[in-house]
Amino acid sequence: MLPIVTANGKDERELLGALRSRSGEVDRKVTAVVSEIIENVRLKGDEAVNEYTLKFDGKLPPAIEVSREEINDALTNADENFVSALLNAQENIADFHNRQKHQSFIDPKENGVILGQRIRGLERVGLYVPGGTAAYPSSVLMNAIPAKIAGVKEIVMVTPPTKEGKANPDILVAAAICGVDRVFLLGGAQAVAALAYGTETVPKVDKIVGPGNIYVATAKKLLYGVVDIDMIAGPSEILVLADETAEPKYLAADLMSQAEHDVLASAIMVTTSRKIADETAKELERQVETLSRKEIIKKSLSEFGGIIVCETVDEAVTLANEIAPEHLEVMMENPFEYIGKLDNAGSIFLGKYAPEPLGDYYAGPNHVLPTSGTARFFSPLSVDAFVKKVSYIYYTEDALREASGDIVTLAEKEGLTAHANSIKVRF
Amino acid sequence: MLPIVTANGKDERELLGALRSRSGEVDRKVTAVVSEIIENVRLKGDEAVNEYTLKFDGKLPPAIEVSREEINDALTNADENFVSALLNAQENIADFHNRQKHQSFIDPKENGVILGQRIRGLERVGLYVPGGTAAYPSSVLMNAIPAKIAGVKEIVMVTPPTKEGKANPDILVAAAICGVDRVFLLGGAQAVAALAYGTETVPKVDKIVGPGNIYVATAKKLLYGVVDIDMIAGPSEILVLADETAEPKYLAADLMSQAEHDVLASAIMVTTSRKIADETAKELERQVETLSRKEIIKKSLSEFGGIIVCETVDEAVTLANEIAPEHLEVMMENPFEYIGKLDNAGSIFLGKYAPEPLGDYYAGPNHVLPTSGTARFFSPLSVDAFVKKVSYIYYTEDALREASGDIVTLAEKEGLTAHANSIKVRF
């Protein structure tokens, strides 16, 4: 099921090639369809949105906006264990993200000059939550909590209606717990366009976040600039670094926890121990049969999974940095010494008792992470993603006079004489 | 030249409409051309890059990479005033941006759990610098200095060759001062593609920043995801808020300093004083005749400029927030009281002696700012733009056991049984 290959060989290159091939080009047909949806929603507002809802979701829900009462009812009627788990997760997520919050600063200088940077939450943010089996309450928490902490004034959620024309109640519970302000029963590219431009019913937002299918992702990409968006997420992935002290039973379970997401997910283990490699392969065969999503797991493991055996730890670390995985588990004897060596990853899980699902649901750091090698330059979703910064400058007459020669020199060097003039008229 | 209109009227709406219309849709023809360039550079590397350089720049420079000696010579031979002005600007820019730097954090809890966030500079960044009349040394400073402060290990500059097959020496001076590591004589979409994919000669980078024409901007947009990019910049703009204490001579000069950038630039004044409006209009007529770029200024002022007279200060502030200008000058009696009220702007200039060119060249805050109303959600270029964050999680066996019930509850609620399994196998 999971090929075991040696580092630096042809098989390893093929595996890495397959990994990269998952994030293909933007599909032209999808782009054409989505462009038309966006244009119609921009021009016709609710009328267009309702047409698309009818077309794609089968029928219009009785009300597009979910009432506050229905949201509160979802929370009241929810299973106690579920609510308690969400509340505990919320506490951890809020605690971690509170540490990311930055203050505005001011720098008043002795000569009277004052410089500063003001940081403020965005006015209104849209959160897309998929329907069907991908309606994940944890995703609501991971997007809404940092937005709230950043000081976003209003969070507007959109989610496709169920067949009964309702919202998924689990999603509403998470929304109630996180203080989502409004919920609309809308899905697909039309929901994204409605948030970007605003309609008679749906308020215009400043940023759109949250996962979605190819239509949602394409709409976000096309509307980048009209609004801000979060990262463009690709298929999920895990890389496990393991030495001979690792526990094959855990390794196998963790690889499969990622592989179950979808057939494009990738689970790779890089190890310095051939013995661990062999034992993990056996554990995979054994455990997979007990899992409900075993068909997905088998497919993703055989297409985008692998165990790579390295000669040295340095070689293993270099490979991990090259792959730049979304999730990186360090099952090594002294996991902490690798934090500084691992350049590129979304989130790093250290030691035997930090399995990836701990980060997905509970520990506190965000689970919205850069995929497909983009951890080279993208970062986990954070409070920073929901703020806007403004710089400000105050100069005194004397300070500007002193600077005037330099400014005029630079402006004239660039041929921008009206820039120079705005200094000269003052003196 | 500059229409004076009353707030909340039809004329005002027309002016704002014209302002928004400047950032049009992506041009399909340009996109097709750029897509082909990108694909060829990806597949054929230097061969394709050289073909495009020949085609668009007329001839191949003798060497694609500028030697260290040539960079150093540019600095040695440069005009003393110019170097001194750049060094003073560099000091101010570095001083301001140093305040933006954030530390990695660690949160070790009493139960042995350790959470953290590591912040590190990107490995390698590409800086695009246009050629011809838009070869601005100040742009090199504003992009390279925050990258250096963020800890970027290597800054690679690309800039189109001059007719003599050389680099613009002013750009090299700025590059030398900022510690740019390598300079390549490449321009256009082919330069952006070379940086994104790497070629035999040009190293692959993690992020591409810097201004450019429509081909460069389109290439950056299309390559977003392969690499990170900075904001997609639209035409420049200024909004001046003025009350009856403002000085029409300064107001006129500052409006024109923005209008001279190009015919799509926008300069708008919002004032509570009809008298100031009239006097500023007169000053514009008078001063414009003395300026070398007067044709550009007249055209941009008449098409995208205007003076809007408001009844109240609140009305003026609301209008400024709606327009969300790149540059916002506050020529009001008590300018500081507006910092908190002004929601949306790239950079705010306070009082009579903070003209916009002070920020372009010298004061310290970045001059790469959100345009076309995107200050609603985008921020000035900053040190944050050049870092990558990684979160890390360590749990003890006991801590995971305590959390296990909640994690299994949430995983099973989402139907992700392999996620639950990775917890269960441990206990």
Catalytic residues of A: 326-327
On the CB side of B238, CA atoms within 13 Å amount to 31
Residue at token pair 């699902």? A357
Sign for the pseudo-dihedral over CA of B256, B261, B264, B268 = negative
DSSP code of B265?
A: -
Contact between chains at B250 and A287 (C-beta distance less than 8 A):
no
> A413 to chain B: which residues are within 8 Å by CB?
82, 137, 170
Between B62 and B387, residue with greater pLDDT: B387
State how far the alpha carbon of B330 is from the alpha carbons of A108, B287, B307, in Å: 18, 21, 15
> B23 to chain A: which residues are within 8 Å by CB?
225
Q: How far apart are CA A322 and CA A17, in angstroms?
A: 12
Give the residue from B142, B140, B170 showing the smallest Cα distance to B156.
B140
Residue at token pair 């008679």? A200
User: Which of the residues B230, B387, B406, B412 would you substitute to probe the A interface, choosing the one with the greatest number of A C-beta atoms within 10 Å?
Assistant: B406
Q: What confidence score (pLDDT) does residue B33 get?
A: 94
Name residues whose C-beta falls within 8 Å of residue B10's C-beta, 6 or more positions apart in sequence: none
Contact between chains at B82 and A391 (C-beta distance less than 8 A):
no
Closest-CA distance, A292 to chain B, in angstroms, reads 7
* Tens digit of each residue's pLDDT (9 = 90 or more) over A313-327: 999 999 999 999 999
**What are the residues facing B229 on neighbouring strands?**
B208
Name residues whose C-beta falls within 8 Å of residue B172's C-beta, 6 or more positions apart in sequence: B66, B70, B71, B74, B75, B183
> B113 to chain A: which residues are within 8 Å by CB?
363
Catalytic pick among B97, B237, B283, B327: B327
User: Is the Cβ–Cβ distance between B183 and B159 less than 8 Å?
Assistant: yes
Q: What is the DSSP string of B109-154?
A: -TTS-EEEEEEEE-SEEEEE---GGG--HHHHHHHHHHHHHHT-SE
> Nearest CB to A354: which of B105, B380, B394?
B394
Contact between chains at B417 and A260 (C-beta distance less than 8 A):
yes
Q: How far apart are CA B149 and CA B98, in angstroms?
A: 7
- Between the two ends of chain A, the Cα-to-Cα distance in Å is 78
Residue at token pair 């500023």? B280
Q: How far apart are CA B219 and CA A380, in angstroms?
A: 25
Q: What confidence score (pLDDT) does residue A71 get?
A: 96
User: Is the Cβ–Cβ distance between B185 and B104 less than 8 Å?
Assistant: no
Mean pLDDT of B259-274: 93
**Is B28's pLDDT higher than 90?**
no
State how far the alpha carbon of A218 is from the alpha carbons of A35, A213, A215, A231, A293, in Å: 9, 9, 5, 12, 28
Give the residue from B50, B300, B407, B34 showing the smallest Cα distance to A253.
B407
Q: Which amino acid is at B405?
A: G
Q: How far apart are CA B174 and CA A328, in angstroms?
A: 40
Q: What confidence score (pLDDT) does residue B232 get?
A: 76
Helical segments of B159-293, H only: 169-178, 188-197, 214-223, 248-259, 274-288
**How many Cβ atoms are within 10 Å of A107's Cβ, its own excluded?**
13
Instruction: Look at residue A105 and give its three-state secondary structure.
Output: strand
Percent of chain A with pLDDT over 70: 99
Name residues whose C-beta falls within 8 Å of residue B183's C-beta, 6 or more positions apart in sequence: B65, B66, B71, B156, B157, B158, B159, B167, B172, B175
> Nearest CB to B363: which of A96, A364, A393?
A393
Helices B188-197 and B28-44 pack at an angle, to 10 degrees, of 50
Residue at token pair 């560099």? B90
Sign for the pseudo-dihedral over CA of B174, B175, B177, B178 = positive
Q: What is the DSSP string of A183-230?
A: EE---HHHHHHHHHH--SSSPP-SEEES---HHHHHHHHHHBTTBEE-
Q: What confidence score (pLDDT) does residue A25 get?
A: 54
Sign for the pseudo-dihedral over CA of B270, B276, B281, B284 = negative
* Tens digit of each residue's pLDDT (9 = 90 or more) over B102-155: 999 999 999 999 999 999 999 999 999 998 877 899 999 999 999 999 999 999
> A410 to chain B: which residues are within 8 Å by CB?
82, 85-86, 89, 137-138, 361-362
Q: How far apart are CA A225 and CA B233, in angstroms?
A: 9
A181 labeled part of a ligand binding site: no
User: Is the Cβ–Cβ distance between B142 and B366 less than 8 Å?
Assistant: yes
Per-10-residue mean pLDDT of chain A, 427 residues long, equals: 76 79 70 94 96 91 94 96 98 98 96 97 97 89 98 97 92 96 97 98 97 92 91 86 97 96 92 96 94 93 92 95 96 96 97 97 97 94 97 98 98 95 97
* Tens digit of each residue's pLDDT (9 = 90 or more) over B366-377: 999 999 899 999
* Tens digit of each residue's pLDDT (9 = 90 or more) over A195-220: 999 999 999 999 999 999 889 999 99
Domain edges within chain A? 4-23+235-363, 28-229, 395-424
**What are the residues facing A394 on neighbouring strands?**
A114, B350
Instruction: Look at residue B267 and give its three-state secondary structure.
Output: strand
- Beta-sheet pairing, B105-108 with B114-121: antiparallel
Copy the structure tokens of residue A418.
Answer: 């009206």
Q: What is the DSSP string of B31-47?
A: HHHHHHHHHHHHHHTHH
Helix (H) or strand (E) holding B373: none
Q: How far apart are CA A294 and CA A296, in angstroms?
A: 5
User: Is the Cβ–Cβ distance between B367 and A413 less than 8 Å?
Assistant: no
Q: How far apart are CA B154 and CA B97, in angstroms?
A: 18
- Quick one: closest CA in B to A394, which residue? B350
User: Is the Cβ–Cβ distance between B143 and B368 less than 8 Å?
Assistant: yes
Name residues whose C-beta falls within 8 Å of residue A282's C-beta, 6 or more positions apart in sequence: A248
B128 labeled part of a ligand binding site: yes
| CATH for the B4-23+235-363 domain, from 3.40.50.1110, 3.40.50.1980, 1.10.3720.10, 2.40.40.20 | 3.40.50.1980
The answer to whether B97 is a known catalytic residue is: no
DSSP code of A267?
A: E
A8 labeled part of a ligand binding site: no
Helical segments of B45-107, H only: 46-57, 68-77, 80-98
User: Is the Cβ–Cβ distance between A304 and A265 less than 8 Å?
Assistant: yes
User: Which of the residues B239, B348, B410 would you substitute to probe the A interface, choosing the one with the greatest number of A C-beta atoms within 10 Å?
Assistant: B410
Residue at token pair 């219309």? B21
Q: What confidence score (pLDDT) does residue A268 get?
A: 95
Strand order in the sheet with A387-394: A105-108, A114-121, A387-394, B347-350, B327-331, B237-242, B266-271, B306-309, B4-6
Copy the structure tokens of residue A70.
Answer: 């229905």
Sign for the pseudo-dihedral over CA of A69, A70, A72, A78 = positive
* Tens digit of each residue's pLDDT (9 = 90 or more) over A112-158: 999 999 999 999 999 999 988 778 999 999 999 999 999 999 999 99
Please name the fold of domain A28-229.
Rossmann fold (3.40.50)
* Tens digit of each residue's pLDDT (9 = 90 or more) over B283-335: 999 999 999 999 999 999 999 999 999 999 999 999 999 999 999 999 999 99
Q: What confidence score (pLDDT) does residue A276 get?
A: 96
Give the residue from A362, A381, A368, A379 showing the smallest Cα distance to A95.
A362
B236 labeled part of a ligand binding site: yes
* Tens digit of each residue's pLDDT (9 = 90 or more) over A371-407: 989 999 999 999 999 999 999 999 999 999 999 999 9
Give the residue from A273, A301, A275, A274 showing the smallest Cα distance to A287.
A301
Q: How far apart are CA A143 and CA A178, in angstroms?
A: 9
> B348 to chain A: which residues are within 8 Å by CB?
390-393
Q: How far apart are CA B43 and CA B31, in angstroms?
A: 18
**Is B4's pLDDT higher than 90?**
no
Q: What confidence score (pLDDT) does residue A26 get?
A: 59
Strand order in the sheet with A154-158: A65-66, A182-184, A154-158, A124-128, A207-209, A228-229
Domains B4-23+235-363 and B28-229 share a fold: yes
Catalytic pick among B237, B326, B329, B356: B326
Q: How far apart are CA B122 and CA A377, in angstroms?
A: 6
Give the residue from B210, B408, B295, B79 showing the smallest Cα distance to A357.
B408
User: Is the Cβ–Cβ distance between B383 and A389 less than 8 Å?
Assistant: no
Q: What confidence score (pLDDT) does residue B23 get?
A: 62
Percent of chain B with pLDDT over 70: 99
The answer to whether B326 is a known catalytic residue is: yes
